[in-house]
Amino acid sequence: MVPLIGAVAADYIVFWVLAPISVGAALGMLFARNAVHSALLLIVNFFCLAVFFLVLGSPFLFAVQIIVYAGAIMVLFLFVIMLLGVTREESLVERLKGQRVLATLLGLGLIAEVALAVRYGVGISTHAAPGFDAVNRGGNVQSLARVLFNSYFFPFEVTSILLIVAAVAAMVMAGRRAPDIEQAAAAEDERAKREPEPVS
Amino acid sequence: MRTPISYFLILSGVLFTIGTVGVLVRRNALVIFMSVELQLNAVNLTLVAFSRQFKELDGQVLAFFSMVVAAAEVVVGLAIIVALFNRRRSANVDDANLLKW
């Protein structure tokens, strides 16, 4: 039952408007032929999820979702798509027979499984405990920082190492190699090209 | 909040499944990567929903960490895809079978 429109029902309306949009955008991403369309639909989906974060009482993650995901990560994706070229068509040959059908069936099974787990674990109509504002006392960012820098300080520091390693790895991976290694790799490519491809 | 928490959990399960099917079905390495991002985001939604349910902020902190890991993963993964493309002139995952037994 949809209650009367008011401050209380706002999140209900937001959910039922944005949930179909997010699922539709995700399905569109799955079926889009063009990689750019996939990326744009994924951005729509990320915006929907950002609004869900807001509804669930996390304005900080709302902002981070839009800035980091919709802003940085998807721009990186589009940049790489541009670098690789968008015109190439994806081949529709199935290397494993029946892979698509099996994947769809297993996906439906996974949805059913999640629904059952939610049904028996949480309960379909369980409402969140009231008084979440008390948790966010003094602002969501402040409370989050309090938790992050008290209980999760070590993981936070490890995260910084992870980011440095990732940056170095990206530089090593995408950068030009030394000339002699480049030559060896080119020779290796030549040899692989001359030998007949083994039939798999 | 009128919306039951379970709605968010089931929505997140549906999004995760779409991402999983995308990883299994698509052949373009970039789209596979986008599907992985979708999966990570679905899990984030679960974490935030449970954080709301149990009135603890740990779920939100965990979602934050998962975003950081996702960012690092995208950087390395896209670098690998670009390197692979430079060598093979293709972003199709079926073409990368050098390590195949």
Q: Which residues of chain B are within 8 Å of residue A162 when distances are taken between CB atoms?
A: 68-69, 72
User: What is the distance of C-alpha A199 from the center of its chain?
Assistant: 36
A140-168 pLDDT tens trace: 899 999 999 999 999 999 999 999 999 99
Q: Nearest Cβ partner of B2 from A3, A129, A185?
A: A3
Cβ–Cβ below 8 Å for B18 and A131? no
Tokens of A198: 């083994």
Binned at pLDDT 50, 70 and 90, residue A195 comes out as: low
**Separation of alpha carbons A182 and A168, rounded Å:** 20
Residue B96 lies in a domain: no
Q: What pLDDT, on the 0 to 100 scale, is given for residue A109?
A: 94
Range of the domain at B54: 5-91
Q: Which residues of chain B have pLDDT under 70?
A: 101
Residues 6+ apart with CB under 8 A from B100: A200
The answer to whether residues B87 and A177 touch, using CB atoms and an 8 Å cutoff, is no
A87-113 pLDDT tens trace: 666 666 677 778 889 999 999 999 999
**Separation of alpha carbons A164 and B70, rounded Å:** 14
Cβ–Cβ below 8 Å for B26 and A12? no
Residue B34 lies in a domain: yes
**Separation of alpha carbons B30 and A61, rounded Å:** 25
Return residues 29-88 of A near B (CB < 8 Å). Answer: 29-30, 35, 38-39, 42, 45-46, 49, 52-53, 55-58, 60-61, 64-65, 68-69, 72-73, 76-77, 80-81, 83-84, 88
Domain count, chain B: 1
Percent above pLDDT 70 for chain A: 84
Cβ–Cβ below 8 Å for B92 and A90? yes
Cβ–Cβ below 8 Å for B30 and A77? yes
Cβ–Cβ below 8 Å for B1 and A11? yes
For B94, name the nearest residue in chain A, comparing CA atoms only.
Answer: A95
Residue B100 lies in a domain: no
Q: What pLDDT, on the 0 to 100 scale, is given for residue A2?
A: 45
The answer to whether residues A25 and A46 touch, using CB atoms and an 8 Å cutoff, is no
- B70: domain CATH number is 1.10.287.3510
Rounded to two decimals, the pTM is 0.85
Cβ–Cβ below 8 Å for B45 and A53? yes
Domain boundaries, chain A: 152-200
**Separation of alpha carbons A78 and A99, rounded Å:** 28
Q: Which residues of chain B are within 8 Å of residue A147 when distances are taken between CB atoms?
A: 57-58, 60-61
